[in-house]
Amino acid sequence: MRQLNHYLLSAFFWASLAVHPNLYAVNGDSKDSLQKQRIIALAPHIVESLYAIGAGEQIIGTTAFADYPEAAKDILQVGNYARLQIEKIIQLQPDVIIAWKTGNPTDDLARLEKYQLKVIYSDPQTLEDVGKELIMLGKLTGREAASNSVAKRYLTRLQKIKKTYAEQHKVSVFYELWSRPIRTVSNKAWPQQQLELCGASNPFKNATDDYPTVGLEQVLVTLPQVVVQPGHTGAESPDALNWSQWQHIPAVKNNFIFHPNADKVHRMTTRMLDEVVILCEQIDTARQFYLTQG
């Protein structure tokens, strides 16, 4: 089920460190040789992070929707979240493949390892893991100084946001991850961690699944004060629920329906915080409104 949920999140938002212990080993390679490694990066967030530490030019292959920064659009694509082009990857003869542990097809990853290709895994589980992954990528590519600097800035900013909203009054938020069927977030889901960062209260937080499917009536009875509907480039999705039908919902009545950029909030990169800051400020606007209403 966890694998399925990550696939669903990937499918919707690709348009949008718990790592193996041996990931930090570089086998005595020199800094110069590490900086010349030919890399295949199998997820948009991996591509973004490599560019963030100055290693973007080493990428020779990637997957669909790896579109940031602009230069990433020119990288050869060797698959998507559902299937990898194994033969093409072998032909490229990469020095290392960086795969998304729960976002790439496991059978294809097993085949790559069977062909004796060096596969390293990205598996960020928490917001803090973005910093850990940057450091890992820095060691892998011989760019420790740059990666340490980027990671430090990211983690410092993350802690500042946490401190800002840690003691704030909770606001009830429904996160509309998917509308048909209605799917939300809970538990340790990536967007759930962002809601907690903003001081939001999710009525479905304790669901068994990280990305549970819920019924419309289940949602409506919670009377959310804020509704979050992520969309590509921050625009409202044409498939999203039309909340105007339920004027008794506080979020609708008071116009607190927000549309963060899914390409940012659902990718495990430093750029995520740019959008999370905006979302936290929007939720705080709602918070202050409800506090004045008594």
Over its length of 294 residues, how does the chain's per-residue pLDDT go in tens digits?
Answer: 444 444 445 544 443 433 333 344 445 578 999 999 999 999 999 999 999 999 999 999 999 999 999 999 999 999 998 999 999 999 999 999 999 999 999 999 999 999 999 999 999 999 999 999 999 999 999 999 999 999 999 999 999 999 999 999 999 999 999 998 999 999 999 999 999 999 999 999 999 999 999 999 999 999 999 999 998 765 667 788 999 999 999 999 999 999 999 999 999 999 999 999 999 999 999 999 999 997
Structure tokens given for 198: 């903003």
Instruction: Give the global pTM.
Output: 0.88
**What is the Cα 7 distance to its own chain's centre?**
12
Whether the Cβ atoms of residue 59 and residue 76 lie closer than 8 Å to each other: no
Mean pLDDT across the chain? 91
Max CA pair span of the chain:
65
φ and ψ of 127, to 5 deg: -60, -35
Tokens coding 157: 């900013």
Best CA proximity match to 97, nearest among 69, 58, 134? 58
- What distance in Å separates the CA atoms of residue 224 and residue 102, rounded to the nearest whole number? 31
User: Could you check whether 2-161 and 168-292 share the same CATH topology?
Assistant: yes
Strand partners, 226: 173
Tokens describing residue 191: 């967007």
pLDDT attached to residue 15: 38
User: Where do the domains of the chain lie?
Assistant: 2-161, 168-292
Domain 168-292 has CATH 3.40.50.1820: no
Which of 214, 223, 207 is closest to 176 using CA atoms?
A: 214
Fold of 2-161: Rossmann fold (3.40.50)
